[in-house]
């Protein structure tokens, strides 16, 4: 049966990988990612902005740069040896899906930079610098939802 084939299972894995890697940056910029944080939710808006600033400065941006670097090496090696599936009936050109690692982390890096710039404007800029493209949750938006 086609639904029991290794080829289809590997294609599913590739599609899931590409999907999740490409939408993470979108979710991060629109503040729709999952937060497992019971302390942050009870803080003031300004303290939340500081947490986002420190998190993107010391974790998000540096780690995505490191990940991009190592994913590049990983993908390049896969391309040079023309890596294929370990299964005889699996997909060839394994480097194609590994390229999505680089693309996904580049999207995440750009998302991190966008959020970082928003927090810099909020912390260090004038109060009238707010613009419509900012996606952090604003205090007045929280009251409108209730």
C-beta separation of 135 from 121 below 8 A:
no
pTM of the model: 0.81
C-beta separation of 122 from 136 below 8 A:
yes
Q: What is the pLDDT along the chain (146 residues), one digit of tens a residue?
A: 666 788 888 888 889 999 999 999 888 888 777 777 778 778 888 888 898 899 999 999 999 999 999 999 999 999 999 888 888 777 888 889 999 999 999 999 999 999 999 889 888 887 777 665 555 665 655 555 55
Q: At what angle do helices 45-55 and 95-124 cross, to 10 degrees?
A: 140
DSSP secondary structure code for residue 137 in this structure: P
Q: What is the structure's pLDDT at 122?
A: 85
């Amino acid at each position: 049966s086609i639904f029991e084939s290794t080829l289809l299972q590997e294609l599913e894995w590739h599609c899931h990988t590409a999907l999740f890697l490409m939408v993470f940056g979108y979710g991060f910029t629109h503040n729709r990612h999952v937060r497992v944080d019971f302390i942050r939710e009870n803080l003031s808006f300004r303290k939340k902005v500081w947490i986002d600033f420190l998190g993107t400065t010391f974790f998000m941006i540096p780690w995505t740069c490191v990940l991009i670097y190592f994913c590049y090496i990983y993908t390049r090696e896969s391309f040079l040896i023309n890596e294929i599936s370990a299964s005889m009936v699996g997909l060839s050109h394994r480097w194609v899906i590994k390229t999505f690692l680089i693309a996904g982390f580049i999207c995440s890096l750009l998302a991190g930079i966008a959020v970082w710039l928003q927090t810099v404007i909020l912390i260090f800029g004038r109060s009238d610098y707010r613009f419509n493209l900012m996606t952090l949750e604003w205090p007045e938006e929280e009251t409108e939802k209730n």
